[in-house]
Amino acid sequence: MNRPLRHIAIFCGLLMLALLIRANWLQFVKAEELANDDKNRRVQIKQFATPRGDIVVGGASVTGSAEVDGAEFKFKRTYKNGPMYAPVTGYASQTMGMSLLEKTYDGVLSGQDDRLAFQRFTDIITGKERRGGDVITTIDPRAQEAGYKGLTDLGARGSVVALDPRTGKVLALVSTPSYDPGSFAGNTFKEGDTFQALDDNKGKPMANRALRETFPPGSTFKILTAAAALEHGVVTDIDAASDAVSPYPLPQSTNEVGSEAGNAVCNKASLKTAMQYSCNNVFLDAAVELGQDRMRETAEKFGFNEDVYSDVFGDLRATASLYPQDLDKPGTALTGMGQGSLTSTPMQMAMVTAALVNDGKLMQPYIVDELRSPDLSTLEKNEPQVMSEPVSSGTAAKVREMMEHTAKEGSAQKALIDGITVGGKTGTAQRGVDVNDQVPYGWFVSYGKKSDGASVAVAVFIDPTDMDISREDISGGSLGGPIARNVMKAVLEQ
């Protein structure tokens, strides 16, 4: 063989070797990844070849499947009370993919989960159609409805989160404005246009405000500042007068911060009085005395600065709430009243409240109680897990005492319920560089507790951008208090 032919033969041999290596790589190493890729048409066809299992709330399915005419997709997803439950279920669309629980538990819902292999085998033998399993949520339908109705009646962008402090179960997860996942569940051009219109809507109906967006928490953060001050010994007596003058001079600054309750009430007020009237000066001073490291340490024990839900929530993972690094003294002071560069999700503030109700023990939030196979046997069941212990039971009891006093005598009175112990804290959070340029956010956190120990923690967030309301009328207590009250009643008065 002459030299040129030999070179060509070697080159062709190398090409064949590369082809064999690539083929084996795809077949054995990448096979599972490619088989489950969302863009794999065969995967999509299989997902909608049979009726999907259901997502269950309060013992009833909030999803279904409808048979459709189509060469490839035989069934499409349907939803009951779609807008109310969309922040929980997400969507399963033949063209737009999936989100939230629909995506996280697609294997179970479509019947393709490895744990259902024996079920699939027996279905083939008996000639039955492949069946999907069910996802049983922790959501309380009455609480979800109370939160959703409260926000939609206001016409507000916002969120409501309710937790069982003793277990971490998510009892309500509301985000408004919302959308109907069934409106684009198929694969027609009209449904594609519907999805695009929702995605382009300035009100962001497809945003999950409970988990995926952060906002300055305003005065609701004062319950964490109070907990930090007590835990670290900066305050030992909640009834003792403080040294914090009102208006409060920011460190290293010529600026002063006042309080809506007025200087006469807030000047050198005790921590308990400051909580009752939401006196900024006392909490600013407490944050300065604590310093940024101890403030951040306490915030992180409550879940700030960490994406803490990934193991349990899967695709419902919440955006990390932020207690910033490298703050100066003025910046640290402002975090004491929930302003500055501090941000939080509604879920995070519900967690803070829940931990204080649960004697300082923070339980890992979870929204799926159980996964069931088509024959109703349990595939997996979630169990309560302790996430952290941010503060001692003594500290938690003192903060609850102040929150209950605030509900009885202060700005949280609209959350009171006869026969139930209620604690609460209002919040009005300024936003933007020029605080007068945009309307502030309204916040409300509260808890209700019965004599038998049953309890619920609630966080309400309200963005009044779309509401016909003046700045003077925006108050977490007046707007969020009644919503929180109705959610707590829904849970505790059953």
Please state the domain extents for the chain: 216-339
Enumerate residues 6+ apart whose C-beta is below 8 A from 436: none
CA dihedral 423, 481, 353, 425 (to 10 degrees): -70
pLDDT of 111: 87
Between 76-80, 152-156, 242-246, 430-434, the lowest mean confidence (pLDDT) is in 430-434
6 has a pLDDT exceeding 80: no
User: 183, 219, 246, 446: which is the annotated catalytic residue?
Assistant: 219
User: What percent of the chain is modeled with pLDDT above 70?
Assistant: 87
312 has a pLDDT exceeding 90: no
pLDDT of 313: 45
Helix (H, G, I), strand (E, B) or coil at 455: strand
370 has a pLDDT exceeding 80: yes
Determine the Cα–Cα distance for residues 154 and 477; give it in Å rounded to an integer. Answer: 14
pLDDT of 132: 86
Residue 297, burial from CB neighbour count under 10 angstroms (0-12, 13-18, 19+): middle
Between 146-160, 212-226, 228-242, 296-310, the lowest mean confidence (pLDDT) is in 296-310
CATH of 216-339, one of 3.40.710.10, 3.30.590.10, 1.10.3720.10, 3.40.30.10: 3.40.710.10
Between 110-114, 172-176, 265-269, 311-315, the lowest mean confidence (pLDDT) is in 311-315
pTM: 0.88
Confidence of residue 21 (pLDDT cuts 50, 70, 90): confident
Q: Is 110 a catalytic residue?
A: no
Distance from the Cα of residue 403 to its chain's centroid: 23
Determine the Cα–Cα distance for residues 399 and 275; give it in Å rounded to an integer. Answer: 9
Between 35-49, 194-208, 214-228, the lowest mean confidence (pLDDT) is in 35-49
Mean pLDDT of the region 364-378: 91
38 has a pLDDT exceeding 80: no
